[in-house]
Amino acid sequence: MSENRLQYTIHKASNGNDFILKGTGINSEAKIIEPGHSRYEWVKKNQGRVVNISTTNGRWNSSTDYHGAYEPYSKEITKDVKVTLTKLDDLNIDSSLFINMKTDTVFDEFCSSDGGFAPGTNVMFTGSPGIGKTTVGIELLSKLQDAGKKVLFISAEMSQIDMARYLKRFPHWGQLPILFLGDHTDSCPKTVIESVLNEGWDLILTDSYTEVNDTVKEECNLTRSKTEKWFLDLMITHNKGGNNLKKYTTFVTILQLNKGGQFVGSNKLRHMTSAMLNLRWDGEENTGRRYMEFDKNRVGAVGKKLFFTLDAGVSFDETRFVRDKQTDLLVEDERKQLDAEGVAFDDIFGLDADSYEDENNEDLTDEEIQTEKDVKNGLYGETV
């Protein structure tokens, strides 16, 4: 902050009428703004922003809280905190939380151990532009709607005209409910999203996380960190059934990648994510085969590839997926067989780990043998 200005945050006084300007600097004195003050209405309109007062000419202006000046006041500080511990046996969880949502495609087996999307989870789609994140996401959304699930597509990137072009290629998407954020420029997008989500949905596809957050940040004068916290808290609330229908909402969120191939978002998003699904090219970009692969999955396997095409709609290569799965099983069986044969060989000839050590260490003293064992166990660091 410049030495020629003082910065304040705006707070409502306990009497409900006055405002208090609290200085952000050390030893800054607070200012009380009463209804008769010449700046009262101006301060009232600028709540949530920071007030800058010039020390040279006394001029007042406001700016966005880019540096989190309000964060120290966001939560009430209490000295005595009562903590409740929970035992797993005491959890009272609705059984519907364990009934997965299935698309009736091979994606279900690929997605989770129980098949399909697990309620109350969060799946992130990442991939380079043009790989098909949105197309695959909406196709899966359509399959779930056909299966009787209540689904929603939130689009912050595409307009109605854009989607109309998609409809020519995918006419079966025609009955999907879509929230176009661009259609609500006269309303607070934060309020619009909260209102729609409160209706209760089984699964919500958002395209994209970055665009939704940027729209809310700019229109509602929030910092990036506050916008992200709002979005993550909203997801957690609806994961737990905090909506009118008490549905354990699953979120599928499309993430943008930067030039280095990393997703745009904080580590908070990565940590709260149930699964990270990467869509990639097998070969040269835009010419190789498309496939998807989980590098994080709390409800299923990671490292398995599911190839897909967009040539005539979305088509998953089930034949290759099943073949690759059978190959993995054969490799695992062979490994177990080799391990068993090795043990049998040692048993026949009376060989074991101790005998190998005795044979190799027959010229060493007992103290030297023990030292070598300690080194192998990491007690003396690496062997030189």
40-58 pLDDT, tens digit per residue, is: 999 999 998 999 998 888 8
- The pLDDT, as a whole number, for residue 382 is 46
- The pLDDT, as a whole number, for residue 383 is 41
Residues of the chain with pLDDT under 70: 1-3, 26-27, 74-79, 258-266, 341, 343-347, 349-384
Do the Cβ atoms of 165 and 309 come closer than 8 Å?
no
Q: What six digits make up the tokens of 134?
A: 């949105």
- The pLDDT, as a whole number, for residue 253 is 94
- The pLDDT, as a whole number, for residue 220 is 82
- The pLDDT, as a whole number, for residue 347 is 67
159-189 pLDDT, tens digit per residue, is: 899 899 888 889 999 999 999 998 887 888 8
Q: What is the pTM for the complete model shown?
A: 0.68
- The pLDDT, as a whole number, for residue 221 is 79
Q: Kindly list the distances between the CA atom of residue 195 and the CA atoms of 151, 188, 191, 245, in Å, as whole numbers in the listed order.
A: 15, 11, 6, 13
Q: What six digits make up the tokens of 191?
A: 């309020």
Per-residue b or e along 131-142, where b marks 16 or more CB atoms closer than 10 Å to that residue's CB: bbbbbbbbbbbb
Q: Which fold has domain 94-316?
A: Rossmann fold (3.40.50)
Given CA atoms 209, 214, 215, 219 in this order, what sign does their dihedral have?
positive
d(CA 139, CA 173): 8
d(CA 283, CA 275): 24
Contacts (Cβ under 8 Å, ≥6 apart) of 280: 127, 128, 131, 290, 291, 292, 293
- The pLDDT, as a whole number, for residue 384 is 39
d(CA 82, CA 67): 31
Do the Cβ atoms of 264 and 255 come closer than 8 Å?
yes
